[in-house]
């Protein structure tokens, strides 16, 4: 990613926190989805996507707060390069 030591350490810490929170969010959603299906209801995808998007927003904000200007530029360039071959799932692409 081309990050200097301090930026790399902050990135590792912030993304580690993101991973923990994201895994908790997925586990919570899966639990509620199973309960909803048992009751004959559809799982609440919108609530999950909203919470996920808020987590991503907060994580990006943390990265901008703690990384240097050069670190943010390097990280953004790396992410954009990785995203060039990604595809968005049908459900994800719908509002």
pLDDT digits (tens, 9 = 90+) for 21-68: 999 999 999 999 999 989 999 888 899 999 999 999 999 999 999 999
Kindly state whether residue 95 falls inside one of the protein's structural domains.
no
Instruction: Give the predicted TM-score (pTM) of the model.
Output: 0.82
Instruction: Tally Cβ neighbours within 10 Å of residue 3.
Output: 19
Domain count of the chain?
A: 1
Split at pLDDT 50, 70, 90, the class of 92 is low
Q: Is the pLDDT of residue 95 over 50?
A: no
pLDDT the model gives residue 62: 98
Domain that holds residue 79: 5-85
Q: CA dist 83 to 15, 25, 59, 73, 88, Å?
A: 17, 23, 18, 15, 10
Kindly state whether residue 94 falls inside one of the protein's structural domains.
no
Indicate the range of 25-29, 76-80, 82-86 predicted with least confidence.
Answer: 82-86
């Amino acid at each position: 990613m081309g990050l200097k030591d301090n930026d790399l350490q902050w990135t590792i810490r912030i993304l580690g926190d993101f991973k923990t929170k994201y895994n908790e969010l997925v586990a919570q959603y899966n639990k509620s989805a199973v309960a909803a299906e048992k009751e004959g209801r559809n799982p609440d995808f919108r609530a999950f996507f909203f919470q996920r998007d808020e987590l991503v927003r907060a994580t990006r904000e943390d990265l901008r707060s703690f990384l240097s200007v050069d670190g943010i530029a390097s990280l953004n360039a790396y992410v954009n390069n990785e995203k060039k071959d990604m595809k968005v799932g049908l459900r994800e692409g719908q509002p």
